[in-house]
């Protein structure tokens, strides 16, 4: 599985309240959630994400509330993958469970500039900044997590595995 997209960068400790403010938690349709993705920090984010982007974050990305609506809003706004120095654990699990790829990559935020063209190869565990030529080798995700992502999320994975 591979993804490509231009980088949109954020800093450290990006919490799920800025990714998707609490007042929108009553929305059920993920496309409605997507209209408010990152509203706390950048109201223009949904327009930028539409083309299909790679979010590059700092430390502790996705901290705070367990709201799964946060990764859902990112995914449906056009985010193909989130790369960060580190993730808050609930966000990390939620993202995988809804089929949004997330990879921890030390040094990524200093190496990548806004707008750089990024390619990610999940099986190989490689990340490339095509714009500046820098590349990273990261710890590969466990195979069952890659399977969940390939299936598009935990529910599809469970449906498939419970049929066996």
Partner 1 sequence: MNITEKILAKASGKTTVKPGEIVDGNVDVIMVHDLTGPLAVEAFKKIGVPKVWDNKKVVVILDHQIPAESVTAAELHKTMRKFARDQQLQIYDIGKGGICHQVMPEKGHVLPGTVIVGADSHTCTYGAFGAFATGIGSTEAAAVFATGKIWLKVPEAIRINVEGQFQRYVTPKDLILHVIGKLGAGGAIYKSAEFRGPTIRDMSIAGRMTLCNMTVEMGAKNGIVEPDEKTRQFLEGRTTKMLPSFETLLSDPDAKYEKTEDIDITDLTPQIAYPSSVDNVKPASEMSNITVEQAFIGSCTNGRIEDLRLAAEIMKGKQVKDGVRTLIIPASQEVYMQALKEGLIEIFTNAGALVCGSTCGPCLGGHIGLLAPGETCVSTSNRNFIGRMGSKEANVYLASPATVAASALTGKITDPQQMEAKK
Count the residues of the shown chain that bind partner 1, applying the rule CB under 8 A.
40
The yes or no reply on residue 151 touching partner 1 (CB under 8 A) is: no
CA-to-CA distance for 46 and 61, rounded, in angstroms?
A: 18
The yes or no reply on residue 88 touching partner 1 (CB under 8 A) is: yes
Nearer to partner 1, 44 or 162 (CB): 162
The region of 2-10, 80-88, 117-125, 131-139 touching partner 1 under the rule CB under 8 A is: 80-88
Going from the C-alpha of 41 to that of each of 1, 46, 106, 123, 134, the distances in angstroms are 30, 12, 23, 32, 28
CA-to-CA distance for 15 and 33, rounded, in angstroms?
A: 16
Contact residues toward partner 1 (CB under 8 A) are 12-13, 15, 17-18, 21-23, 25-28, 39-41, 59-60, 63-69, 86-90, 93-94, 97-98, 142, 153-155, 158-159, 162
């Amino acid at each position: 599985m591979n993804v490509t997209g231009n980088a949109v960068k954020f800093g450290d400790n990006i919490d799920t309240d800025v990714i998707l403010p609490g007042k929108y938690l009553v929305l059920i349709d993920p496309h409605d959630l997507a209209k408010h993705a990152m509203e706390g920090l950048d109201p223009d984010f949904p327009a930028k994400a539409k083309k299909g982007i790679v979010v590059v974050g700092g430390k502790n990305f996705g901290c705070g509330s367990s709201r799964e609506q946060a990764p859902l809003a990112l995914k449906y706004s056009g985010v193909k993958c989130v790369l960060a120095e580190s993730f808050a654990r609930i966000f990390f699990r939620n993202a995988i469970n809804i089929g949004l790829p997330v990879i921890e990559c030390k040094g990524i935020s200093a190496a990548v500039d806004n707008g750089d063209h990024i390619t990610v190869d999940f099986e190989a565990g490689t990340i490339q900044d095509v714009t500046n030529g820098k590349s990273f080798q990261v710890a590969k995700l466990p195979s069952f997590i890659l399977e969940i992502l390939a299936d598009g999320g935990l529910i599809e994975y469970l449906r498939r595995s419970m049929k066996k």
